[in-house]
């Protein structure tokens, strides 16, 4: 195994406490949360107390101002334990950074402390029933009337949509300006005219709430605009490297964990008087997956190093997202096969991983969109 060099001893210390936290506070309850369709709200508050949420936030807002490797540790440990319902990475790595980077002082003072403590769960709402990959097709409108924006439209597939207290809504503020007509607007839960649909039934990520959001003449003060009007698309594009790497980090940790569990399984399960591990096919399958994961680990750690040095570009992050998510599903699929019928049983982590990793090539920009981005740079 190639030693990892991207983390310092303090990250590994943090990792120990994160792992213990998840083992005690999340693993025993995750099955129930899968039935509930969402994780317990208390987990957010407990995680907040331990500094697991938005660890990069500045001290003035109550954060600890550490680097993104701490986010990576939280994500890796949740993925290793198969805690696919724990949506911290969406909150800490994807949604709250929009506030941290584009919010004005008043917005940060109002919301960030709650994001860190777990009292304010933040969701990001881009996708609509009619458009996902093509953000320029967004139809939800925000019209300035006096001192208020009036929002109308619908969003779908929104992670933590039901549990969220604050949603960053991507709205069209100028119908004629294409991508320059999009803006990010903050909408708090409970605002009149803002309603949430039922929990969407998914084939995986059972403990993660995913829902539709509806906006009917929702009035919010014009101060809820995040950054500048018309800059929404630029802000979204700016966050892509971190968002995509974040997904790749979770995917790689999941692949490593499923491979390790499968190695244990094939050693103890017997057929034809021998352990499954004794068959050449099992050895070849596991050897190939192990070699691919080792390469992926080196690449993803390099991307993490680039990110913390502010050098990770969108194309490289897109390669990481595409390759790591494809690999994690391939690992889950082939390891499931090595488990035989047990692999198809929900109680086995490999079955859950098969269902959970399927979405990774879809959300955060589909892997076809990743190929478009990579191809565009390659071919001009």
How far apart are the C-alpha atoms of 359 and 126, rounded to whole Å?
17
- Nearest C-alpha neighbor of 351 from the set 333, 326, 364, 363: 333
Out of 13, 368, 375, 376, name the contact with ligand FAD by CB under 6 A. 368
The span from the first CA to the last CA of the chain, in angstroms, equals 38
Binding span for ligand FAD by CB under 6 A among 20-28, 39-47, 153-161, 317-325: 153-161
Examine residue 359 and tell whether it contacts ligand FAD (CB under 6 A): yes
Query: Smallest distance, Å, CB 370 to ligand FAD?
Result: 9
Task: Find the residue with minimal CB distance to ligand FAD.
Answer: 132
Binding span for ligand FAD by CB under 6 A among 6-14, 151-159, 186-194, 251-259: 151-159
Examine residue 207 and tell whether it contacts ligand FAD (CB under 6 A): no
Examine residue 135 and tell whether it contacts ligand FAD (CB under 6 A): no
Sign of CA dihedral 152, 154, 160, 162: positive
* Whole-Å CA distances, 363 to 46, 244, 345, 372: 27, 10, 25, 15
Examine residue 214 and tell whether it contacts ligand FAD (CB under 6 A): no
Site string for ligand FAD, 38-57 (x = CB under 6 A): --------------------
Residue 134 contacts residue 61 (beta carbons within 8 Å) = no
As given in the structure block, the two tokens for residue 375 are 């191809």
Q: What torsion do the CA atoms of 58, 87, 261, 343 make, to the nearest 10 degrees?
A: -170
Q: How many CA atoms lie within 13 A of 49 on its CB side?
A: 6
Which lies closer to ligand FAD via its Cβ, residue 250 or residue 338? 250
As given in the structure block, the two tokens for residue 77 are 């440990």
Examine residue 127 and tell whether it contacts ligand FAD (CB under 6 A): yes
Query: Smallest distance, Å, CB 210 to ligand FAD?
Result: 5
Residue 319 contacts residue 304 (beta carbons within 8 Å) = no
Check if 243 is active-site: yes
- Beta bridge partners, 155, equal 213
Which lies closer to ligand FAD via its Cβ, residue 124 or residue 331? 124
58 — phi, psi (to 5°)?
-65, 155
Residue 161 contacts residue 186 (beta carbons within 8 Å) = no
Which lies closer to ligand FAD via its Cβ, residue 276 or residue 317? 317
Examine residue 158 and tell whether it contacts ligand FAD (CB under 6 A): yes
- Calculate helix-pair angle for 69-80, 280-308, nearest 10 degrees: 160
As given in the structure block, the two tokens for residue 103 are 């919010």
* Whole-Å CA distances, 207 to 154, 197, 244, 330: 23, 17, 22, 22
Examine residue 86 and tell whether it contacts ligand FAD (CB under 6 A): no
As given in the structure block, the two tokens for residue 299 are 């690449």
How far apart are the C-alpha atoms of 134 and 358, rounded to whole Å?
21
Which lies closer to ligand FAD via its Cβ, residue 40 or residue 212? 212
Query: Smallest distance, Å, CB 82 to ligand FAD?
Result: 16
Examine residue 132 and tell whether it contacts ligand FAD (CB under 6 A): yes
Binding span for ligand FAD by CB under 6 A among 249-257, 271-279, 327-335, 359-367: 359-367
Check 128, 212, 239, 243 and give the catalytic one: 243
Out of 210, 257, 262, 325, name the contact with ligand FAD by CB under 6 A. 210
Query: Smallest distance, Å, CB 101 to ligand FAD?
Result: 18
Active-site amino acid positions: 243
- Residues lying near ligand FAD in the complex (CB under 6 A): 123-127, 132-133, 157-159, 202, 205, 210, 359, 362-363, 365-366, 368-369, 372
């Amino acid at each position: 195994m190639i030693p990892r060099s991207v983390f310092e001893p303090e990250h590994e210390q943090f990792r120990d406490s994160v792992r213990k936290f998840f083992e005690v506070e999340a693993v025993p309850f995750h099955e129930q949360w899968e039935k509930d369709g969402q994780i317990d709200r208390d987990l957010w508050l407990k995680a907040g107390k331990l500094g697991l949420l938005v660890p990069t936030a500045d001290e003035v807002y109550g954060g600890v101002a550490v680097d993104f490797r701490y986010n990576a540790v939280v994500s890796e440990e949740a993925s290793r334990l198969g805690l696919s319902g724990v949506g911290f990475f969406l909150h800490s790595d994807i949604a709250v950074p929009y506030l941290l980077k584009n919010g004005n002082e008043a917005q940060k003072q109002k919301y960030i402390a709650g994001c860190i403590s777990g009292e304010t769960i933040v969701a990001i709402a881009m996708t609509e029933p009619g458009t996902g990959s093509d953000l320029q097709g967004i139809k939800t409108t925000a019209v300035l009337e006096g001192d208020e924006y009036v929002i109308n439209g619908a969003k779908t597939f929104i992670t933590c949509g039901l549990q969220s207290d604050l949603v960053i809504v991507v709205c069209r503020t100028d119908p004629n300006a294409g991508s320059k007509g999009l803006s990010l607007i903050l909408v708090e839960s409970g605002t009149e005219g803002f309603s949430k649909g039922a929990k969407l039934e998914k084939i995986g990520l059972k403990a993660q709430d995913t829902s539709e959001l509806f906006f009917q003449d929702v009035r919010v003060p014009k101060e809820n605009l995040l950054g500048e009007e018309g800059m929404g698309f630029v802000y979204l594009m700016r966050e892509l490297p971190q968002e995509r790497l974040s997904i790749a980090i979770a995917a790689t940790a999941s692949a490593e964990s499923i491979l390790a569990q499968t190695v244990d399984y094939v050693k103890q399960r017997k057929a034809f008087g021998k352990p499954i591990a004794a068959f050449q096919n099992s050895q070849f399958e596991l050897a190939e997956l192990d070699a691919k994961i080792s390469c992926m680990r080196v690449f993803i750690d390099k991307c993490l190093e680039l990110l913390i040095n502010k050098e990770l570009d969108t194309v490289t992050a897109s390669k990481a997202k595409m390759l790591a998510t494809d690999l994690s599903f391939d690992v889950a699929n082939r390891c499931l096969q090595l488990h035989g019928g047990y692999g198809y049983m929900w109680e086995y982590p490999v079955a859950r991983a098969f269902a959970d990793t399927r979405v990774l090539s879809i959300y955060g920009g589909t892997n076809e969109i990743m190929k478009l981005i990579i191809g565009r740079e390659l071919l001009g």
